[in-house]
Amino acid sequence: MGGWQPAFLQNAVAQTIILKVTMHTAAQSSQPTVIRTNLGAIFVSLELSRSTWLITSLSPGRSEKMSKHSVLAGDVPGLFALFSKLGEKSRIKTGHTYPMITIQEAGLDGFWIHRVLEKEGIESHVVDPASIAASRRSRRAKTDRIDGEALLRTLMAYKRGEPRVCAMARPPSPEEEDRRRICRERKALIVERVAHVNRIKGLLFAQGTTNYGPLRQDRRERLAELRTGDGRALPAHMQAQIRRELDRLELLLEQIKAVEAERDALIAVQAAAATPSPVTMLLQFKGIGTECAAILWSEGLFRHFDNRRQVAAYAGLAPTPWQSGSIDREQGVSKAGNPRLRATLIQMAWLWLRHQPKSVLTQWFNDASSAIGVG
């Protein structure tokens, strides 16, 4: 039918076309997940949990349809048996043998599964889950099946070379990972020490006593001499509770000394090495102490960075601009990196201003602060 049509007839035709398109789209959405591509490998995603591992795979010769299997958590032989079955099915249907490429999220399971897979010659990737694009709807569907499919699509896009698809983690070696234990344990012990000190001071403050230092060498002798704000001796049960707190505090102090001795011994080994180590070079700067140098070395300088932007991104210090139309503002640092490294870098920056007041970097910072009216 050509030429002019009445408005009601035009609307009826348009509604018919929209209805057909909608019905076609709904029919497509009810079909299994299908990816039209030429596969050169078997792509596998591992959705890990405490009870089961959901395995989502996409193999050549299976009409490019995702398949899903599950194994018990920690069942490595069962996982490899499933991989062998997937490889055999692809070989029977295509007549070719394909390599296997896996992906998993960085999380509670650490990197041991990644190391097991690489030991068997399987290409393995560990992805930062926060870097994967997700729906921005307030209520979005989230299941292990959906997450497994999203991981698989992310892996394929990454292998195609698409930029900014995700952020793949670089797993440390077992030795590098174990070296981090020292500084991280010391940090945990310091947090516990602060909690015990605050608890003791809080108990005494409720009695009107404010001049007691739990970290002093004569803490036990002074405890017996303390008086409340109204001149009474400390109640017996409170003294007993504070003594038990002091027992735990003194145990923490001994453990902190032991951890620091391990740290110093490790740095001494690096200092005696023929090749200069990053930790020994850092200690040559005025304003950088043993703990800061050890954290920078174990948390950041154990790996290679191409430029300063990569260092900032890894530490979560990269800028996060918000630009859209006439809106142009800065949201601050991303905080999407290693929090221990980021905190140490910030503390070291302030220490640098204090201990290196005449350096070029300090003078630049002071001039920039004065220009914007800060400081």
pLDDT digits (tens, 9 = 90+) for 38-94: 678 999 999 999 999 999 999 987 667 899 999 999 999 999 999 999 999 999 988
Determine the residue type at 29: S
CB atoms within 10 A of CB 344: 22
73, 48 Cβ separation under 8 angstroms: yes
Q: Name the maximum alpha-carbon separation found in the chain.
A: 106
Can you tell me the distance from the alpha carbon of 100 to that of 267, in angstroms, rounded to the nearest whole number? 41
Report the alpha-carbon distance of residue 168 to residue 155 in Å, rounded: 10
pLDDT at 276: 86
Which parts of the chain sit beneath pLDDT 50? 1-30
Domains and CATH numbers, the chain: 42-169 (3.30.420.40), 174-272 (no CATH), 275-375 (no CATH)
CA dist., res. 239 & res. 227, Å (int): 11
pTM of the model: 0.79
The position carrying tokens 């404010």 is 210
Q: Report CA-CA distances (Å) from 83 to 37, 42, 47, 153, 174.
A: 21, 9, 15, 19, 25
Q: Please check whether residue 157 is in contact with residue 165, taking contact to mean a CB–CB distance below 8 angstroms.
A: yes
pLDDT of the residue at 23: 40
Per-residue pLDDT, 91: 92
Q: How many CA atoms lie within 13 A of 51 on its CB side?
A: 1
Q: What separation in angstroms does the CA of 314 have from each of 84, 235, 278, 305?
A: 36, 52, 18, 9
Residue whose structure tokens are 């790996």: 303
CA angle 297, 303, 308 (to 5 degrees): 90
pLDDT of residue 26: 43
The confidence score (pLDDT) of residue 375 equals: 61
Residue 2 confidence (pLDDT): 46
pLDDT of residue 37: 57
103: phi then psi, degrees, rounded to nearest 5: -145, 145
Q: Which amino acid is at 116?
A: V
Contact call for residues 55 and 75 (beta carbons, < 8 A): no
